[in-house]
Chain A
Amino acid sequence: MRGKGTVTPLSSVFSVEDTQKAAKRVQDTIAQKDLELDHLRGFAADNTDLINLVARLPEHLHHDIMVPFGKAAFFPGRLVHTNEFMVLLGEGYYAERTSKQTVDILNRRGKVLESQVDSLKAMVQDLKAEASFFNATATEAAEGLVEIVEDYEEESSSDRECTPKQDYANNSRAVIAQPADEDEEFARMMARMDELEKEEREAESHMAQSDEDEQLQHGLHQLSDQKSLHGNLKISEYQSRKPPEQTKDGIASNEDSFTDVPSGSGLVSKYEDKVSHENILGRDVKSVAEKDLVSPVVENVQTVPLSRSQVSLESSKPKFDREKAFTGSIVEHADNLQIKSRERTTAISQSSASQVSKPVSRFKMQRK
């Protein structure tokens, strides 16, 4: 096994001219197939026209027409027996048919043409993919790209094989937590769907709810970003602005989150988590939110705080947008945004280790 893989200029494996030639050839083939496709499409159009004509002819006993005579001359004539057709079946065989039977035959023929068009289209698509590949290779070779793609992949995969333990030691927590995270994410998505369905019916209570959300979040922001001077001010502001229709549970959870503040290292993650939980589940199932408030907190503090926090960070982004949409009248939005981003950065700096390792682990999971 090579330690680092070999560095080879791509142009030495595929010469620029050759790849360009290959690309050109594929392009030529594509042009040819396109021509064929046009041809077939023309046939199909002719066929439909013919079907229309044949279907219309027997509507009258006779038609006055101009009969072509030679290449340049016409003379007036009259079509009679408008329901008798001599249909060319192919290979020199003709059959006497009525208008209806002829239309049937023509329809069958149209179907055959259609299938041919489809197959040709698929072929052209394949060729186009091939051509784009050749072009990419040609440009890469022309740019003097070094290191073959296969080489690189082999290197990384061997890397993974050689040092999986180290990797997993680094990411072990994230890896272990991942399935749970995904489940949770799924649950959140489903919950959000439910929420969206109910939004119209409960527009009123939703306003109240999102107010509550915002308060929670603001509280969180103040708590996580303790340098912010207007923090204390805002708490009082929010408390006073609590809408009267807010439920007891909501208040309780609010107070919960406020009183729990100094409890530990997973500060940001815990509150983010709570907020998003409540945001999704809170309105219709308050008790569930309450329950969730208890268990994830323990979990967070103990084992998987950072990966969880990341997930909730992710989910908090769209939530913020939604907030903006529904409580546009609230003045602090710009402020909120600012704090939000600041809070995010602090969160990132706090949990930078797992923030970095998490995407890597996800990548690895994909590659597995």
Chain B
Amino acid sequence: MGSSSAQRELQRELEAKANDLSKIQKDISKNHQVRKKYTIQLGENELVLKELDLLSEDANVFKLIGPVLVKQDLAEARANVRKRIEYISAELKRLDATLQDMEEKQNSKKEAIFKVQQRIQSLQAGKAKA
């Protein structure tokens, strides 16, 4: 009777850990999606910067703000885009760090789950013997 209750305990622990793991995995996939978005934006911004750098100084540059095109200074536009690229790069770095962190957590969780499973198995084996 005692062994079966211990087993139930372990079963519950396993479930909790599995839930945690799935949560972490969900976070990781979310992180991946966000990263993908940022990478695309970074690529676009770099393209824009390249084109802006290629423009001659007297070219007219506009920015679409809401429904209207607002004329912008070329230098200002370049500075803006550059700042944006910096921001996105920093964000990507941050995401990388959190991703690594989460992967570590995921691995430790996996290990814990494996241990619990082993314990359950050994318990069952002991019960079968007895």
Contacts and interface: CB of A to CB of B under 8 A. Distances in A.
Given A108-B51, A109-B47, A94 B84 contact: no
Contact of A94 (B50, B61, B81): B61
A363 interface: no
A96 B63 CA distance: 11
Contact of A89 (B48, B60, B65): B48
A90 interface: yes
Contact of B62 (A86, A105, A108): A86
Contacts, number: 51
Interface in B33-57: 41, 44-45, 47-48, 50-52, 55
Task: Indicate the size class of the contact surface on chain B.
Answer: 20 to 34
A91 B59 contact: no
B1 interface: no
A224 B76 CA distance: 93
Interface residues of A, number: 14
Contact of A95 (B47, B50, B59, B84): B59
B48 A94 contact: no
A97 to B, nearest CB: 7
B63 A94 contact: yes
A117 B44 CA distance: 16
B61 A93 contact: yes
Interface string A14-43: 000000000000000000000000000000
B32 to A, nearest CB: 13
A92 B50 CA distance: 15
B59 A97 contact: yes
A295 B64 CA distance: 87
A111 to B, nearest CB: 11
A246 B47 CA distance: 75
A94 B68 CA distance: 11
A93 B48 contact: yes
B48 A96 contact: no
B84 to A, nearest CB: 7
B63 A90 contact: no
A37 B6 CA distance: 54
B69 interface: yes
A89 B47 contact: yes
Nearest to A86: B62
Contacts of B45: 90-91
A112 B52 CA distance: 16
Contacts of B92: none
A95 B65 contact: no
B77 interface: yes
Interface string A258-297: 0000000000000000000000000000000000000000
Most buried by B among A91, A96, A109, A112: A91
Nearest to B78: A93
Contacts of B59: 95-97
A63 to B, nearest CB: 23
Contacts of B60: 95-96
Nearest to B56: A101
A91 B69 contact: no
A89 B69 contact: no
B44 A90 contact: yes
Interface in A75-105: 86, 89-97, 105
Contacts of A112: 47
A96 B44 CA distance: 19
A92 B64 contact: yes
Contacts of A94: 61-64, 69
B57 to A, nearest CB: 12
B121 to A, nearest CB: 18
A109 B72 CA distance: 23
Contact of B81 (A86, A91, A95, A105): A91
A365 B51 CA distance: 57
Most buried by B among A94, A97, A108, A112: A94
A93 B46 CA distance: 13
B109 to A, nearest CB: 21
8 contacts: A89-B47, A90-B48, A91-B41, A91-B48, A93-B52, A93-B72, A93-B81, A108-B51
Interface of A: 86, 89-97, 105, 108-109, 112
Given A94-B62, A95-B51, A108-B51, 5 more contacts: A89-B48, A89-B52, A93-B81, A95-B60, A95-B62
